Chain A
Amino acid sequence: MIQFDFSTIAFFVFAVLTLGGALGVVTNRNLFRGTIWLMVSLFGVAGFYVLLSAPFLAAVQVLVYIGAIAILFTFAVMLTRSLTRLNVRYTRLWPSALGAVLLFAMLVIGVIWPVFGGNEMYSLPLSDVVRTTSDLGVALVSGEGYVLPFEVASLLLTGAMIGAIVIARDADEEELEQ
């Protein structure tokens, strides 16, 4: 059935990294450590991208999440300082744990296993060939491709940057006045 070759072992390693890291994020009382766990988890996700033959996404995952979003999270943790020492404060701990377990069970038993589990069609990728980054570039900017979302993404980023600067700057000016 399932061969234990290199990629299968790698799959399990990345699954452990991803899910273990995610559990670390939600259970750690210290937010900085939570950020580090988040990075471990997202690093595992980058590994999945490699296994799924999308190495470009893997590099981007490391670049964007570990290089930038992690830094942003640590800055935010330090800027809202007293919280790092806050004892862990959960609201609705058990209801939400139960809800999450139920959600998982529903997804697996209700959707994933009946639809994709025994289906031979989804046991192997349909084609061995994969597209390169160069093809991705052509698809992103060609007229019949994704050029409109491409430009909208740029607008979204511009909007997010201006918005975030406006919001964060208020706090900065207030502080300088004091």
Chain B
Amino acid sequence: MDCTGLCEVLTQGGTDPGLAQFLSILIGVVLVVSVPLVTVIFLIWIERKIAARIQDRIGPNRVGPFGLVQTFADLIKLLIKEDITPASADRLLYNAAPILSLAAVALIWAVVPFTPYHFGVDLEIGALYFVAVASLGTLAIMTAGWASNNKYALLGAFRVVALLVSYEIPLVFALLVPVMLAGSMSMFDIVNAQAGMWFVFMAPLAMLLFFISSQAETGRAPFDLIEAESELVAGFNIEYSGMKFGMFFAAEFLHVFTNGVLITVLFLGGWYFPGWQMPLIAFMWLGLKAFIPYFISLWIRNTVPRLRIDQVMRFNWFFLVPLSIVNVLVLAFLVMILKEIGWVPVDETGAMALADATFIELLPMTIVLFISNVLICLPIINRLRRTGSDDRVADEQRAQHAIAHAAGD
């Protein structure tokens, strides 16, 4: 095993090489883990402020300047809340579920490249790692629902799991697109391949699909019918109280921002920004760019009404899944043809290589791919619109029929 950086310093200081290596890994892990930990505390404040502004309120403003310390006050409140475990629950699994839920989200951060020099680890299979780890969260929800030993919890868990697995298909198909363009699953290589041109311009549709399905993966509105906190029981976490309940929520808050970071890494060029490259500024760019999808996600959450489960499922299986498959097929086909006519930058072996290409070299390819995406989208949007209005008409007719029927009696 190689021993560089901090490990090297420790070895020179007289530490045993094995121990030094372990220590350097441990310190790295602690640093990477602390990023989501610190972020989540401020995310909760930001999210409450934004939600309040959208709903024409002020939001937390009592504790500390601008209510900044509010989250800590809530944390202390949660710490001294009574925490009830139902008598009929499966104690071990009941307690394990919230831990697994938050850990699954935190694990994603291991592969996030913050700057060219600061990242947890650069796995060769980074993109697949992220999907695999995210699926642990699904299992956590299933476990929580079953271990609570409650009808509503179990039903809620079943519904949420059915929804999560359904939306994972377009998510993974959308993920194939940056992997194909970069020719690697490593998050680091994917960012590097966007040096000349961000993937959002080459594959806007893939980004849109990824965004919609990751919104569903977090269980946020308009896909929050399982939870529907304002009208139904809470779903799979109905029996949870105190800190364990808080952990499910922390996982959700963190997941939304994690998705923002992932979209930035996969589609918005990670740490790149035209004409300005420095390690620390790179970190700032990543954070700033991650806020764009994060803010849009909050915006949608606070403005779009909740959908029914049959609508959500129909939207996924009849629009998102076919669209994501068509998207991959069209992109694969077009890039193959563009390579034949020489519009795609290639390396000396004739393989596609976007990493070293400049903006100008990538422009023709990008324009063709962008137009193809728009062309795919147009009929789909039309179809969606027509289906929506048909549904509305049918609903209205049914309502009128019911009224007439009631009056006739």
Residues of B within 8 A of A (CB): 1, 18, 22, 90, 93, 123-125, 128-129, 131-133, 135-136, 138-139, 142-143, 146, 154, 158, 161, 165, 168, 183-185
Cβ of B132 and Cβ of A71 under 8 Å apart?
A: no
- Taking CB atoms, residues of chain A closer than 8 Å to B135 are 62-63, 66-68
**Can you add 17 more A-B contacts, CB < 8 Å, to A56-B125, A62-B132?**
A6-B22, A36-B143, A39-B139, A55-B125, A59-B128, A62-B136, A63-B135, A66-B132, A66-B135, A66-B136, A66-B139, A67-B135, A67-B168, A68-B135, A71-B165, A74-B146, A78-B158
- Taking CB atoms, residues of chain B closer than 8 Å to A78 are 154, 158
**Is A173 interfacial (CB-CB < 8 Å)?**
no
Closest 10 CB pairs of A and B: A67-B135, A62-B132, A59-B128, A63-B132, A59-B132, A59-B125, A56-B125, A32-B146, A59-B129, A55-B125
Across the interface, name the chain A residue whose C-beta is closest to B165. A71
**Is A33 interfacial (CB-CB < 8 Å)?**
yes
CA distance A36 to B144 in the complex (A): 12
Residues of A within 8 A of B (CB): 5-6, 32-33, 36, 39, 55-56, 59-60, 62-63, 66-68, 70-71, 74-75, 78, 132-134
- Taking CB atoms, residues of chain B closer than 8 Å to A55 are 123-125
Beyond A36-B93, A63-B135, whether A56 also contacts B128 by CB under 8 A is yes
- A-B contacts, 29 listed (Cβ < 8 Å): A6-B1, A33-B90, A33-B93, A36-B143, A39-B139, A55-B123, A55-B124, A56-B124, A56-B125, A56-B128, A59-B128, A59-B129, A62-B133, A62-B135, A63-B131, A63-B132, A67-B131, A67-B132, A67-B138, A67-B168, A70-B142, A71-B138, A71-B139, A74-B146, A78-B158, A132-B124, A133-B185, A134-B183, A134-B184
Cβ of B161 and Cβ of A71 under 8 Å apart?
A: yes
Most chain-B CB neighbours within 10 Å: which of A33, A39, A63, A66?
A63
CA distance A134 to B183 in the complex (A): 8
- Taking CB atoms, residues of chain A closer than 8 Å to B90 are 33
- Taking CB atoms, residues of chain B closer than 8 Å to A75 are 158
For chain A, what secondary structure do more than half of its interface residues adopt (helix, strand, loop), or is it mixed? Answer: helix
CA distance A6 to B18 in the complex (A): 9
CA distance A70 to B184 in the complex (A): 28
- Taking CB atoms, residues of chain A closer than 8 Å to B138 are 67, 71
Cβ of B128 and Cβ of A60 under 8 Å apart?
A: yes
- Taking CB atoms, residues of chain A closer than 8 Å to B184 are 134
Most chain-B CB neighbours within 10 Å: which of A67, A71, A134?
A67
- Taking CB atoms, residues of chain B closer than 8 Å to A39 are 139
CA distance A142 to B158 in the complex (A): 41
- Taking CB atoms, residues of chain B closer than 8 Å to A68 are 135, 165
| Minimum C-beta distance from B101 to chain A (A) | 14
CA distance A156 to B32 in the complex (A): 42
CA distance A134 to B186 in the complex (A): 11
- Taking CB atoms, residues of chain B closer than 8 Å to A74 are 142, 146, 161
| Minimum C-beta distance from B93 to chain A (A) | 7
Cβ of A133 and Cβ of B93 under 8 Å apart?
A: no
Cβ of B139 and Cβ of A70 under 8 Å apart?
A: yes
Across the interface, name the chain A residue whose C-beta is closest to B25. A6
- Taking CB atoms, residues of chain B closer than 8 Å to A63 are 128, 131-132, 135
CA distance A79 to B133 in the complex (A): 27
- Taking CB atoms, residues of chain A closer than 8 Å to B139 are 39, 66-67, 70-71
Across the interface, name the chain B residue whose C-beta is closest to A57. B125
Across the interface, name the chain B residue whose C-beta is closest to A7. B1
| Minimum C-beta distance from A178 to chain B (A) | 19
Across the interface, name the chain B residue whose C-beta is closest to A132. B124
| Minimum C-beta distance from A27 to chain B (A) | 16
CA distance A67 to B133 in the complex (A): 9
| Minimum C-beta distance from B122 to chain A (A) | 12
CA distance A39 to B143 in the complex (A): 12
| Minimum C-beta distance from A66 to chain B (A) | 6
Most chain-A CB neighbours within 10 Å: which of B18, B133, B135?
B135
CA distance A60 to B172 in the complex (A): 13
- Taking CB atoms, residues of chain A closer than 8 Å to B133 are 62
Cβ of B18 and Cβ of A133 under 8 Å apart?
A: no
